[in-house]
Amino acid sequence: MQKSVVISIPVPKHVKQFMLAEFGPEEPLRVHQNQFMGNAVKLVLIKNPYRINRQKLAPVRQEHVKIVLPTSLKHYTISEERLQHLGQFFQKFFTQQMFQFIKGAVHYTQNETDAVRSFCRVYNIDPDSYDDETARKAWRDYKNKVFEANTSLLELSGNES
């Protein structure tokens, strides 16, 4: 039986908690090339030349999400720099998913504070790593940015008539 290849992606603690809640309850997460996470990981992998062993990656001072690569990707490796990029990608993915969750919950409940708390509760986000207030501020900034962009677009389309 072949040994599985496990990569360790550096991410903030709240992103790790989100990923475990979203993609699997325990590490290492198992991915497949035709799934979202497997496809995202494959984008940063480098094909190993035939019969050359992979280098061990140096530890990073963050939480890490461990992912088992599909057997079809066993001859690939990933550089430390690309692991960092992948970690940044998952941070942005976390933020985007949080905004979408809150947007839907606010549409339903009309309460932003409850929507933020609900997101953190659903994804078991530890308040010590990412508290409700931080999430609420991120949501407020996002909402203001989107509102400003939409208002500017409406003004532009109104001036062209």
Amino acid symbol at 56 = K
Residue 51 falls inside a structural domain: yes
Residue that the structure tokens 């690309």 belong to? 82
pLDDT value of residue 77: 83
Strands (E), 2-79: 6-11, 29-30, 46-47, 63-68, 76-77
Residue 115 falls inside a structural domain: yes
Residue that the structure tokens 């979408």 belong to? 100
Average pLDDT over residues 83-87: 86
What pLDDT digit, counting tens, does each position of 21-46 carry?
A: 888 778 888 877 767 777 788 888 87
Residue 93 falls inside a structural domain: yes
What pLDDT digit, counting tens, does each position of 99-128 carry?
A: 989 989 998 888 999 999 999 999 999 888
pLDDT value of residue 34: 67
Determine whether 159 is exposed, middle or buried from the number of CB atoms within 10 Å of its CB (0-12, 13-18, 19+): exposed
Residue 26 falls inside a structural domain: yes
pLDDT value of residue 60: 40
pLDDT value of residue 116: 92
| Domain count of the fold of the chain | 1
Residue 80 falls inside a structural domain: yes
Range of the domain at 57: 6-159
Residue 1 falls inside a structural domain: no
DSSP state, 49?
A: P
pLDDT value of residue 63: 86
Distance CA 11, CA 90 (A): 7
Average pLDDT over residues 130-141: 90
pLDDT value of residue 96: 86
